[in-house]
């Protein structure tokens, strides 16, 4: 059995969903192994647009089993909302969607903790407010974490909530003290009734996904792992503390899906032709050049607004220093360059090739946020192209300047380019031999 992993090499939002969708027909299983409903992805197929944040992209492929692994944190209302959205479009997920019984549950008190923490004047990190971080805190802290499988033992579930909710109410009251906003204490029994009602609707999808994937491996099935967020948001190797709460690198597969990573023989790193970031944290190549500048133009043309939150993304030039760092961490074999069409019409394009810090130049990426904040980009400027490239289907269809830009990125990262995307639809793709 061999497996492939698709991983973002920037701060997320690299259009990984399109790559997973393009490759989906080659696989039997598509697996999410980290994150939660903070990881939005948009897939356009046959003129229809699907916006998902929790379900794997593979769900729109009828012959693929989609798996939400134990490393994911799940908010049941969001899970059911996405299932129902797809059912309305004619998708039957009853035999093609599996949810791990070991995945942890997000509760309203997690979302409230997120809201209160981000509404204060101290310690903001720009979360999506979906309760992801607080849920992972409970998972690691062990005393308050509740798994999906516990929903199917009602008395046990009620007993756990009866112990946890009073503690959460005291915690939230302490966090809210002095905040301009307050909260309403939660009722343990009301939460129990709400979530036990979800249990009946979740039940057809819940299973031991570790066993499912291990059996698939024994049978030689083809498995595609879909990383959420981006490598620069990895909790260990990203720009800490402005990161997510899980391992967004391929390293998270073993713990988040229960399948040894020795099975992964191909790792595809996904990058945008430029860089974006949502929330707080350092961003060396960010373009703060005003409403008529390149940064705003990239945001407008690229529709750079969060799939989950709708927040405008911060936009900047391609950062080869950062991507070279994450490509090495991820063990990427190749890269795909997404949204190249967004740069059409610019008179010039820039690539960050080095950083300058305290008067010295470096090609090494400091993942420590304080150190990165002190770095200034050193750019290489290339000519832009005016042609509309959205109809290009072969490398030869691209104008010379666009080809040179792609080639230069490949040179700086040291990896071949296997796919170039020139639009959101499946057909707007140039496939190359990696």
Q: Which residues are annotated as a binding site for Mg(2+)?
A: 13, 40
**DSSP label at 267?**
E
Could you list the residues known to form a binding site for GTP, using ranges: 12-18, 40-42, 313, 339-341, 421-423
Strand pairing class (314-316; 275-277): antiparallel
Residues 6 or more apart whose Cβ sits within 8 Å of residue 252: 33, 34, 71, 227, 246
What whole-number distance in Å separates Cα of residue 77 and Cα of residue 83? 10
Which one-letter DSSP state was computed for residue 255?
A: H
Q: Has 110 been annotated as catalytic?
A: no
Q: Residues at the annotated binding site for IMP?
A: 13-16, 38-41, 128, 142, 229, 244, 311
Could you give the 3-state DSSP secondary structure of residue 5?
A: strand
* 209: nearest Cα among 330, 361, 99: 99
Contact 30, 228 (CB under 8 A): no
Give backbone dihedrals phi and psi of 215, rounded to 5 degrees, phi first: -70, -40
Pairing of strands 3-8, 223-226: parallel
Distance set, CA 62 to CA 57, 95, 167, 199, 416 (Å): 11, 10, 44, 25, 31
Q: CA separation (Å) from 336 to 90, 217, 411, 432?
A: 31, 26, 14, 10
Catalytic residue among 104, 114, 138, 139: 139
Task: Tell me the C-alpha distance between 159 and 156, whole Å.
Answer: 5
Annotated binding site for substrate: 307-313
Query: Would you call 13 a catalytic residue per the annotation?
Result: yes
358 contacts: CB under 8 Å, gap ≥ 6: 374
Residue 404 has a CB neighbour count (10 Å cut-off) of 15
Name, in order, each residue with C-beta under 8 angstroms of 267's C-beta and a sequence gap of 6 or more.
Answer: 4, 5, 7, 250, 330, 331, 332, 333
Give the CA count within 13 Å in the CB-facing half-sphere of 253.
26
Residue ranges at the known binding site: 12-18, 38-42, 128, 142, 229, 244, 307-313, 339-341, 421-423
DSSP structure class, residue 282:
-
Spatial neighbors of 215 by CB under 8 A, at least 6 apart, are: none
Q: Which of 13, 21, 114, 234 is catalytic?
A: 13
Catalytic status, residue 41: yes
Residues with catalytic annotation? Answer: 13, 41, 139
């Amino acid at each position: 059995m061999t497996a492939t992993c698709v991983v973002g090499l920037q701060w997320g939002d690299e259009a990984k969903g399109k790559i997973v969708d393009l490759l989906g027909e080659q696989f039997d299983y598509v697996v999410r192994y980290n994150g939660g409903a903070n990881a939005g992805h948009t897939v356009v197929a046959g003129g229809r647009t699907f916006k998902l944040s929790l379900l794997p992209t593979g769900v729109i492929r009828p012959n693929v089993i989609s798996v939400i692994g134990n490393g994911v944190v799940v908010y049941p209302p969001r899970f059911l909302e996405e299932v129902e959205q797809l059912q309305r479009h004619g998708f039957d997920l009853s035999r093609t969607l599996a949810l791990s019984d070991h995945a942890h549950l997000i509760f309203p008190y997690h979302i409230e903790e997120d809201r209160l923490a981000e509404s204060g004047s101290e310690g903001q990190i720009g979360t999506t407010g979906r309760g992801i971080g607080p849920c992972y805190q409970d998972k690691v802290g062990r005393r308050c974490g509740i798994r999906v499988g516990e929903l199917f033992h009602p008395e046990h579930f009620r007993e756990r909530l009866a112990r946890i909710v009073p503690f959460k109410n005291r915690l939230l009251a302490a966090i809210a003290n002095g905040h301009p906003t307050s909260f309403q204490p939660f009722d343990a029994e009301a939460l129990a009734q709400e979530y036990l009602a979800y249990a009946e609707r979740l039940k057809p999808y819940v299973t031991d996904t570790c066993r499912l994937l291990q059996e698939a491996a024994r049978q030689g099935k083809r498995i595609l792992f879909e990383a959420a967020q981006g490598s620069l948001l990895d909790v260990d190797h990203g720009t800490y503390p402005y990161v997510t709460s899980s391992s967004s690198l391929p390293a998270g597969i073993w713990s988040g899906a229960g399948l040894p990573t020795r099975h992964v023989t191909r790792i595809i790193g996904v990058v945008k032709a430029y860089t974006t970031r949502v929330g707080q944290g350092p961003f060396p190549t960010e373009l703060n050049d005003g409403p008529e500048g390149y940064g705003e133009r990239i945001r407008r043309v690229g529709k750079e607004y969060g799939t989950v939150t709708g927040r405008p993304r911060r936009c900047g030039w391609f950062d080869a220093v950062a991507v070279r760092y994450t490509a090495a961490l991820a063990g990427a074999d190749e890269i795909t360059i997404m949204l190249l069409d967004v740069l059409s019409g610019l008179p010039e394009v820039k690539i960050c090739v080095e950083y300058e810090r305290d008067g010295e130049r470096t090609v090494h990426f400091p993942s420590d946020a304080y150190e990165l904040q002190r770095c200034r980009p050193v750019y290489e400027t290339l000519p832009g192209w005016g042609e509309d490239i959205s109809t290009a289907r072969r490398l030869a269809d691209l104008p010379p300047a666009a080809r040179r830009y792609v080639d230069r990125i490949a040179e700086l990262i040291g990896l071949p380019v296997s796919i170039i995307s020139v639009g959101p639809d499946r057909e707007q793709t140039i496939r190359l031999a990696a």
